[in-house]
Structure 1
Amino acid sequence: MTNVTPATLDRTLQLASLRVDPPVVLAPMAGVTNAAFRQLCAEQGAGLYVCEMITSRGIVERDEKSLGMLVFADAEPVRSVQLYGVDPHYVGEAVKILAGEYGVAHVDLNFGCPVPKVTRKGGGAALPYKRDLLERILRSAVSSAEPYGIPVTMKTRKGIDEEVLTYLDAGRIAEDAGCAAIALHGRTAAQHYSGSADWSAIAQLKRHVGIPVLGNGDIWEASDALRMVEETGADGVVVGRGCLGRPWLFRDLAAAFAGEPPPPLPTLGEVAVMIRRHAELLAELMGEERGLRDMRKHMAWYVKGFAVGGQVRAALGMVDSLAGLDRLLAEFDPDQPFPESEIGVARGRQGSPRKVALPAGWLDDTTCISDDLAAAELGISGG
C-alpha cells in the first residue's frame, strides 16, 4: 500500500495556462483512443484525454485519414492531440493548423514510438539521439504554438536500449526549447512493452529538469499512480494499457488523487453497462456496422477473468449489431464480482525485448546529417 496522503498530493498539473485536475493523462493508443473511447473515459473522471497520434505531414498535406482523426467528443473541454513528426517545418506548420483551424488547446509530440518501421528510418524513439534535430523540432512547435497560447509537451522513452539512454538530454532540450512538460515512459525502445517500467528513471528526470515531469509505465490500478508520484516526485501520470477494458480506472484515479476511498470494483452487470455504452458511442462515431466491428477488439479486455462461457466469449468477438450485443450481454450474470485475479495485472500487448532497427550509422554521431527523414513519417497516423 502507498503511504501517500491527500495532504502530500498536488491535485493539479499546470501546463502553461492549461490546468489539468486531477494530474492524469490518457496516453494515445493506436486504434483505441478515438473520440468514442475518450468520451467514455472522460465520463468516468476528469483529466486530459489525448487524441490518437497523427503525423504532422499528414495534417499539412491535408491527408484524408489524418484529418479524419481530428474528431472530438462533447465531453472533451480541452482538445488535445499527439503529433508525430521528424521535420521541424512540417511540425511547426501542423501546430498552426491544429490550433488555428481545429481549436486544439494542447499538442504533445511523440518521440517514444518503438515500432521498427518507424525507428529504422530514424523516427520515434530513435530520434532523440539526434539532439540537434530534436531541439529544432521542439523549438518549431513551441514557436508556432506561442501565438495561440497553447502548451507543447513531449513524450519519450528512456532511450534506444540500456546502452544508449537519451532521456536526460531530451529533458534538458525540452526545457530549453520552452516545452511545458515532458512525459517519460520508463522503458527503452528495445523493451517495447515487455518487462517492468523503470520508475527510478522518472525520478532522475524529475531531479534533472525544472519543468513538470509525467510518469508513464505500469499503472494498472489507481494505487500504482499514487505510488509512482510518491516514489518519483512526478507531477502527474500518463495512463495507457491499464485502462484497456477498464475505463472506470479514471474514476478510481480521480478518487485517489482527491484522497477519497476507492470505489468498489464493478460487477459483471456494471461492466455490461460499460460495454453497451462504449458500443453505442462507437456506433454514433462510425455508424453501427463499423462501430461494432471496432468494438470487437475491446471485448476480451472487458471480460478478461470473468466467467462468461466460451460460446458467449467467442460471439462477443464477432458481434455486428447493437441488438446482437444486447442479446449476448443479457446472458451475463449481473451479480458476478470483479475477478480478484485481474487486480494489478498487466493488460494489453507486452511482447518481448528485441534489437532496435536503426538507419545505417545512426549511432555514429548525435548530429543529424540530413533532415530528409520523410520515410519515417508517411502513412503512420494512428500508429
Structure 2
Amino acid sequence: MSSLPTVTRTPGLTIGPIELDVPIVLAPMAGVTNTAYRRLCREYGTGLFVSEMITSRALVERTPESMRLITHHPSETIRSIQLYGVDPKTMGEAVTMLVAENRADHIDMNFGCPVPKVTRRGGGAALPWKSDLFRGIVEAAVTAAGDIPVTVKMRKGIDDDHLTYLEAARAAEGAGVASIALHARTAADFYSGHADWSAISALKETITSIPVLGNGDIWSADDALRMVDETGCDGVVVGRGCLGRPWLFADLTAAFRARAGEITEAESLASRVQPPLGDVARALRRHAELLTEFYDGEERACRDIRKHVAWYFKGYPVGHELRTALAMVTSLAEMDDLLATLDGSLPYPGVDAEGPRGRAGRPKRPALPNKWLESRSLDTPGLAELAGAELEHSGG
C-alpha cells in the first residue's frame, strides 16, 4: 500500500444542499445498482449511491419496472435517481413527477452511454454533440427540480476528433447543475484501455464554481486517492471496480477519512478489506437475500444473482463446476448448500482478485445517425430518430 498524502483538504463533498462525509459516488450500472446492491454497499462504507439509470419516457409512462427502480429502501437517507432522456419536454415532465411526489433528493443525468444501439440514434455519449439539445435537456431538468440538486455525468465525447466535454460542462454549469462527473473515455473507447485522467484535470481547470468528479479506472482505494492527487477533482465516481466487491466502499471510506486526519494511516490500512473466501461467500449470500426482498421472491433474485458469481469469486480457487452450479441456482437453500462446500478459510488471493471487472470491449468506431457530425444542431427529422434512443441502457 502506498502512504497516504498529507492532509490538504477535508474529505467531504457538497452537492447543492447534500453534504457527504466522504467524496465517493457509486455509479449507476444497468442490472446492478438496484436497491439491493446499494444497501449491500452501504453496509460496508458510505457515500452517495445512485440508482440504476431510468429513461425519462419510461418514468412518465410509469412502466412497472421504472416505478420499481425509483423506489428506495427506508434506510437510504439520500434518494438519488439517475435519469436518461433525449427530449427536454419529457425530461422536464419526469423530473416534475419526481419532485411533486417527493421521490428523490438528488437527480443525476446520464450523457455517457456508449452502447451502439443508443448512440446510433444520437443518444447517450453522442447527444452532447448537439449542443442546443443538450443544453435544453439540462435546463429543463434543473428548472423542474427546483431546490433538488441536479448533476450531470458525461464522457469526453464521441471520439478524439469530436470532443464535447468542456463545452457541455460549461453549458451544464450555466444551467445550474450542482456538480459534473466525467468518465475520462470517449464513446469510441467504450471501456477499453486506460481512462485519460488528464481530461479530468482539464475539466477541473475549466469548471470552478461547482464540484468536478472523476470516473474511470478506480479499482482500489489507492487509485481513488491518486486520481484526486493527479487531477485535483473534488470526488470520485466508482463503477465497474465494485462489481462483486461491495467491500471496496469500506476501503474508500477508510482512505478518505485518513486523508482528512479523522483516523490514522495505520487505522486506515487496518480497515482495508481483504476477505477470505468465507467472507466473499457471505457477501454473495447477503446480496441474494437483499435481492429476494427487492424482487419479493427468490426466483427472480436467483436469476439476478447469477451474473454476479464470477465477479465475486474473481481470483479465488473456486472450480468451474461450482461456479457454474452457483450461476444456475433457483433458491437460497440451493445456494446455501453449494456455498457450504467452499473452504472458507482460503485467504485473499491478492492482485488476482483485483483490477477490472466486466467486459472492457475494444475501441470501435461509434455508431451514429446519418450525417450526425455535420452539424452541432438538430433538425426535425433528427429529433424523430433520436426518440428511439431512449432505451433501457445504462453505462458511461
Q: TM-score, normalised by structure 2?
A: 0.93
CA distance, structure 1, for counterparts of residue 279 and residue 186 of structure 2 = 37
Q: 1:162 to 1:3 in 2, by over 3 A?
A: farther
Q: CA deviation at 1:231?
A: 0.4
Deviations 1:332-373 (A, max 9, x none): 111111111325421111011111011111111111223432
- Contact 2:315 2:353 survives alignment (8 Å): no
Q: 1:40 to 1:65 in 2, by over 3 A?
A: same
Q: CA deviation at 1:63?
A: 2.2
Identity, % of aligned positions: 57
CA distance, structure 1, for counterparts of residue 342 and residue 6 of structure 2 = 38
2:314 to 304, 314, 321: 304
2:77 aligned residue: 77
List aligned pairs for 1:272-291, cutoff 5 A. 272-286=281-295, 287-291=297-301
- Contact 2:113 2:394 survives alignment (8 Å): no
Q: 1:139 to 1:345 in 2, by over 3 A?
A: same
Q: Which amino acid aligns with 1:285?
A: F
Partner secondary structure for residue 108 of structure 2: strand
Deviations 1:212-270 (A, max 9, x none): 11100000001100000000011101000000010000011100000122424111111
Q: TM-score, normalised by structure 1?
A: 0.96
CA distance, structure 1, for counterparts of residue 212 and residue 17 of structure 2 = 16
- Contact 2:26 2:237 survives alignment (8 Å): yes
List aligned pairs for 1:267-346, cutoff 5 A. 267-286=276-295, 287-346=297-356
Q: Which amino acid aligns with 2:315?
A: G
- Contact 1:221 1:343 survives alignment (8 Å): no
2:10 aligned residue: 10
List aligned pairs for 1:343-354, cutoff 5 A. 343-354=353-364
1:142 aligned residue: 142
Q: Which amino acid aligns with 2:364?
A: R
List aligned pairs for 1:58-97, cutoff 5 A. 58-97=58-97
Partner secondary structure for residue 193 of structure 2: coil
CA distance, structure 2, for counterparts of residue 362 and residue 303 of structure 1 = 43
- Contact 1:6 1:257 survives alignment (8 Å): no
CA distance, structure 1, for counterparts of residue 354 and residue 9 of structure 2 = 22
Q: 1:264 to 1:15 in 2, by over 3 A?
A: closer
1:188 aligned residue: 186
2:388 aligned residue: 375
Q: Which amino acid aligns with 2:238?
A: V
- Contact 1:50 1:80 survives alignment (8 Å): yes
Partner secondary structure for residue 229 of structure 2: helix
Tell me which moved more, 335-344 or 151-160: 335-344
Unaligned runs of 5+ in 2: 259-267
1:199 aligned residue: 197
1:251 aligned residue: 250
CA distance, structure 1, for counterparts of residue 10 and residue 49 of structure 2 = 19
Q: Which amino acid aligns with 1:206?
A: K
2:169 to 149, 168, 171: 171
Q: CA deviation at 1:381?
A: 5.7
CA distance, structure 1, for counterparts of residue 2 and residue 199 of structure 2 = 19
2:32 aligned residue: 32
2:261 aligned residue: none
Unaligned runs of 5+ in 1: none
Partner secondary structure for residue 359 of structure 2: coil
Aligned pairs, number = 380
Q: Which amino acid aligns with 2:288?
A: A
2:103 aligned residue: 103
Deviations 1:70-117 (A, max 9, x none): 221233111111100011111111111112214201111110001111
Deviations 1:36-65 (A, max 9, x none): 011001111111111110011111122222
Partner secondary structure for residue 7 of structure 2: helix
CA distance, structure 2, for counterparts of residue 102 and residue 291 of structure 1 = 28
CA distance, structure 2, for counterparts of residue 51 and residue 264 of structure 1 = 25
CA distance, structure 2, for counterparts of residue 58 and residue 255 of structure 1 = 38
- Off by >6 Å, runs of 4+ in structure 1: none
- Contact 1:6 1:258 survives alignment (8 Å): no
Partner secondary structure for residue 44 of structure 2: coil
